[in-house]
Chain A
Amino acid sequence: MIKKFDKKDEESGSGSNPFQHLEKSAVLQEARIFNETPINPRRCLHILTKIIYLLNQGEHFGTMEATEAFFAMTRLFQSNDQTLRRMCYLTIKELANLSEDVIIVTSSLTKDMTGKEDVYRGPAIRALCRITDTTMLQAIERYMKQAIVDKVPSVSSSALVSSLHMVKMSYDVVKRWVNEAQEAASSDNVMVQYHALGLLYHLRKNDRLAVTKMLNKFTKSGLKSPFAYCMLIRIASKLLDETEGGHDSPLFDFIESCLRNKNEMVVYEAASAIVHMPNCTARELAPAVSVLQLFCSSPKAALRYAAVRTLNKVAMKHPSAVTACNLDLENLITDSNRSIATLAITTLLKTGSESSVDRLMKQISSFVSEISDEFKVVVVQAISALCQKYPRKHSVMMNFLSNMLRDDGGFDYKRAIVDCIISIIEENPDSKETGLAHLCEFIEDCEHTVLATKILHLLGKEGPRTPQPSKYIRFIFNRVVLESEAVRAAAVSALAKFGAQNDDLLPSVLVLMQRCMMDSDDEVRDRATFYMNVLQQKQKALNAAYIFNGLSVSIPGLEKSLHQYTLEPSEKPFDMKSVPLATAPLSEQKMEMAPVATSKLPEKLAPSRQDIYQEQLASIPEFQSLGPLFKSSDPVQLTEAETEYVVRCIKHTFSKHMVFQFDCTNTLNDQLLQKVVVQMEPSESYEVLHYVPAANLPYSQPGSCYTLVRLPDDDPTAVSCTFSCTMKYLVRDCDPNTGEPDDDGYDDEYVLEDLEVTVADHIQKVLKPNFGAAWEEVGEDNEKEETFALASVRTLEEAVGNIISFLGMQPCERSDKVPENKNSHVLFLAGVFRGAHDVLVRARLALADGVTMQVTVRSSDETVVDIILASVG
Chain B
Amino acid sequence: MDSPILEPSLYTVKAVLILDNDGDRLYAKYYDDTYPTVKEQKAFEKNIFNKTHRTDSEIALLEGLTVVYKSNIDLFFYVIGSSHENELMLMAVLNCLFDSLSQMLRKNVERRALLENMEGLFLAVDEIVDGGVILESDPQQVVHRVALRGDDVPLTEQTVTQVRHLLPSIHSLTEKIKLVSSGAP
Contacts and interface: CB of A to CB of B under 8 A. Distances in A.
> Are A and B associated in one complex?
yes
Interface of A: 1, 3-5, 7, 11, 14, 16-19, 41-42, 45, 48-49, 52-53, 56-58, 81-83, 86-87, 90, 93, 119, 122-123, 126, 153-154, 157-158, 161-162, 164-165, 191, 194-195, 198-199, 201-202, 205, 227, 230-231, 234-235, 237-238, 241, 264-265, 268-269, 272-273, 276-278, 300-303, 305-306, 313, 316-317, 336-340, 372, 374-375, 592, 594-600
A195 B10 contact: yes
B86 A265 contact: yes
Contacts of B72: 1
B134 interface: yes
B122 A49 contact: yes
B167 interface: no
Nearest to B3: A276
B71 interface: yes
B2 A272 contact: no
Contacts of A268: 86-88
A354 B136 CA distance: 49
Contacts of B25: 56-58
Contact of B135 (A16, A87, A191, A277): A191
Contacts of A122: 145
Q: Which 9 A-B pairs have the closest CB atoms?
A: A337-B57, A58-B38, A198-B10, A234-B8, A597-B64, A265-B88, A306-B87, A594-B2, A597-B83
Given A87-B122, A158-B135, A161-B135, A374 B87 contact: no
B137 A56 contact: no
B126 A58 contact: no
Contacts, number: 207
B28 interface: yes
A96 to B, nearest CB: 12
A49 B118 contact: yes
Contact of B130 (A161, A336, A340): A161
B118 A19 contact: yes
B15 to A, nearest CB: 12
B175 interface: no
A49 B5 contact: no
Contacts of A41: 152
Contacts of B130: 126, 158, 161-162, 165
A301 to B, nearest CB: 5
- DSSP majority for the A interface? helix
Given A1-B70, A268-B86, A305-B87, A83 B115 contact: no
A316 B154 CA distance: 63
Contact of A302 (B51, B56, B88): B88
19 contacts: A3-B71, A19-B118, A52-B118, A56-B29, A82-B147, A83-B123, A83-B148, A122-B145, A161-B130, A164-B133, A195-B135, A238-B5, A268-B86, A272-B86, A276-B1, A276-B3, A338-B55, A594-B2, A600-B64
B62 A372 contact: yes
Interface in B129-163: 130-131, 133-137, 141, 145-149, 152
Contact of A375 (B59, B61, B71, B73): B61
Contact of B61 (A237, A265, A374, A592): A374
Contacts of B58: 300-302, 337
B111 interface: yes
B62 A227 contact: no
Interface in B1-58: 1-10, 22, 25, 27-29, 38, 41-42, 51, 55-58
Given A1-B56, A306-B88, A19 B62 contact: no
Interface of B: 1-10, 22, 25, 27-29, 38, 41-42, 51, 55-65, 68, 70-73, 83, 86-92, 110-112, 115-116, 118-119, 122-123, 126-127, 130-131, 133-137, 141, 145-149, 152
Contact of B59 (A119, A301, A599): A301
Nearest to A272: B86
Contact of B115 (A19, A45, A238): A19
B40 to A, nearest CB: 11
A254 to B, nearest CB: 14
Nearest to A313: B1
Contacts of A227: 89, 134, 137
Contacts of B3: 276
A372 B87 contact: no
Given A165-B131, A302-B91, A596 B83 contact: yes
Given A303-B88, A305-B59, A339-B61, A123 B126 contact: yes
Contacts of B115: 16-19
A374 B1 contact: no
Contacts of B146: 86
A164 B10 CA distance: 9
Given A16-B112, A58-B42, A597-B64, A161 B131 contact: yes
A123 B83 CA distance: 30
A275 to B, nearest CB: 9
Contacts of B148: 83
B2 A595 contact: yes
A328 B85 CA distance: 24
A339 B59 contact: yes
B64 A599 contact: yes
A208 to B, nearest CB: 13
Nearest to B148: A83
A272 B86 CA distance: 9
B110 to A, nearest CB: 7
B1 A317 contact: yes
Given A56-B29, A375-B61, A597-B61, A87 B88 contact: no
A679 to B, nearest CB: 37
Given A227-B134, A303-B88, A237 B123 contact: no
A331 B42 CA distance: 37
A833 to B, nearest CB: 38
A11 B115 CA distance: 14
B119 A600 contact: no
B119 A45 contact: yes
A793 B170 CA distance: 96
Contacts of A123: 126-127
Given A17-B115, A202-B10, 13 more contacts: A3-B73, A86-B146, A164-B133, A234-B6, A238-B6, A302-B88, A305-B87, A338-B55, A339-B59, A339-B61, A372-B51, A598-B64, A600-B64
A155 to B, nearest CB: 11
B60 A372 contact: yes
